[in-house]
Chains A and B, each alone.
Chain A
Amino acid sequence: MTPPWLIVGTVPDESVGLLQGPCAMDSDGLVVGGVSLSVRRGTPALLAAACAACAVLGLEPPQALLGGDAGRGRGSRLAYDHLRGALPCLAPRGITFHYLFPDLAGHDQVLLAALALPARPLLVADAGFMYVAKMSGQAAEYDLFTPDAGELAFLADEMAPHPFYTRGFLLEAEAVPAELIRRAWDSGGAAKHMLVKGGSDRVVRQGRILTEIAGPLTPAMEAIGGTGDTLTGMVTALLMGGRAIPEACAVAALANRLLGQLAQPTPATPVAGLVAHLGEALRLALEKEEEFLWRK
């Protein structure tokens, strides 16, 4: 049996406690461990995207571990504690960490447990867990981070423990992404690979840009909460399917851009309005990847 891929995050409802199990989509939305969850943004949006992408790729959907956390950190703490103990039994081949309260002690315990597994899982970090992974000084232990422009400036700032404290000169509009990417890697703030989201999406390995995906461009996507989550969900599914990290990032970035083209959103569109088009966008990206990504 193939080892599972685990997605760890939160839902903003403390009554949820801790949920674990395979995720699935039904007519009402997302279901995890028998509990229906609305798909508006955050980890449920990532899970919905991963499920839809897995269906296109003919894969079993990922496992989910979700803490109920509206910001106080208790649900995240439940997830950290559970994960630390459960990792040896689960032995996942990959883990995608998402909206979790940035808790340095919790992070360090989970990372140590993951690195102690007989087969090291692929480690993907986005959102709050990416913040704490960078702050821990162990970013290079991770295989992939998926920052946007503001988060890239934070990763490039060796002083900042959270994007809220990023120094101004790194946030200036004229800051050059390639320089920030190199600075993040040189200062230990970057994972081995990064998918930097922006007007152009950049696939990065060890501080060097491997490829840029610039089109199609739908500017409204930047304003829509959850489009980064759909992107990380598709990357996760492509990694589950065995794609190499740079390929998975490039194809997912192209698919997310095609998603914008298909859905024709405005800045007022909710992410739920995009998810319905996600399968078609990924199928198109897989058809067009040779043309868009690899032809020189």
Chain B
Amino acid sequence: MKLPFGWGGKPPQQKQEGARSQGHDRGVLAFSHTAEVIRAEAALKAAGLAVRVMGPPPDMRTGCDMVVEFELVREPLARRVLAEAKLAPLAVAPVRAGMLEPVSLHQIKDFGQWLMVRAANMKLTVDKNTRVIVNISGGGCPDVPALAELLVGQTLDAAPSPLATGQTLCAYALELAFREAQRQLPAHPRPEHAQPGRP
């Protein structure tokens, strides 16, 4: 399964030599709110740009925030795409030391009938038989209760992606747990529409 933001894969600059291996060809786009980062990341990816979400360097941090890392040489294109999406970055800067990677580890706990997946501070529990999300716990950002209202009681297929409405880093962590739960509990192939007495 393809994970969002290139999570689970090596960042592109680590595969290259020279300036690229140092990240010197990469830039960051900062926005006023996490929700704008989510929209910007989706718009830039849809335009074919190689981007990923990162933790900003220490001097750019304000609390619950992140930046979009992109290929600096493509800044004009990135700005055009963002303008079309009615998004205005607060700042564009070269990548600096101190950028942080999102979590990539999951922890799984088996409760027999239920499976709990933890990503960072978020836990999502699913009924293994029905694939219904039965509980969401952990987290501390204000959208967590709202996301739990939306997701609990839905199957892993029917539930909206936490990122579709989430606004914060806790929503991103929940997205990771959600994707991992989908990976751990794939939908069984539906039986053919065979009915007794019909070929």
| B148 interface contact, C-beta 8 A | yes
Kindly provide the distance from the CB of A47 to the nearest chain B CB, expressed in whole angstroms. 13
Interface residues of B in 101-117 (CB under 8 A from A): 101-105, 107, 109, 111, 113-114, 116
Is A244 engaged at the interface, CB distance under 8 Å to the other chain? no
In the complex, A11→B167 CA distance in Å?
A: 15
Contact B33 A41 (CB under 8 A): no
By a CB distance below 8 angstroms, the chain B residues around A228 are 137-138
A: interface residue count bin:
35 or more
Q: How many residues of chain B are within 8 Å of chain A by beta carbon? A: 54
Instruction: Verify if B78 is at the interface (C-beta below 8 Å from A).
Output: no
Do B134 and A268 have beta carbons less than 8 Å apart? yes
Check if B142 sits within 8 Å of A100, measured CB to CB.
yes
Answer whether residue A222 sits at the interface, using C-beta atoms and an 8 A cutoff: yes
Q: Please determine whether B145 and A164 come into contact, CB atoms closer than 8 angstroms.
A: no
Tell which of B101, B134, B139 has the most Cβ of chain A within 10 Å: B139
Give 15 A-B contacts (CB < 8 Å), ordered by A residue: A11-B145, A42-B144, A72-B167, A73-B64, A73-B142, A99-B140, A154-B121, A159-B100, A163-B140, A165-B55, A167-B101, A228-B138, A267-B116, A267-B134, A267-B135
Chain A positions within 8 Å of B, measured between CB atoms, are 10-12, 40-42, 69-73, 75-76, 99-105, 107, 126-132, 135, 148, 150-151, 154, 159-168, 171-173, 219-220, 222-228, 266-270
Residues in B lying within 8 Å of A, measured CB to CB: 33, 35, 55, 58, 61-66, 98, 100-105, 107, 109, 111, 113-114, 116, 118, 120-123, 125, 127, 134-146, 148-149, 152, 166-173
Q: Which 9 residue pairs are nearest across A and B when measured between Cβ atoms?
A: A71-B143, A71-B167, A127-B140, A12-B146, A268-B134, A163-B121, A225-B137, A128-B140, A42-B145
11 other A-B residue contacts (CB within 8 Å) besides A101-B141, A164-B170, A222-B123: A71-B166, A71-B171, A101-B142, A103-B64, A161-B58, A162-B55, A163-B103, A222-B116, A223-B111, A224-B135, A228-B138
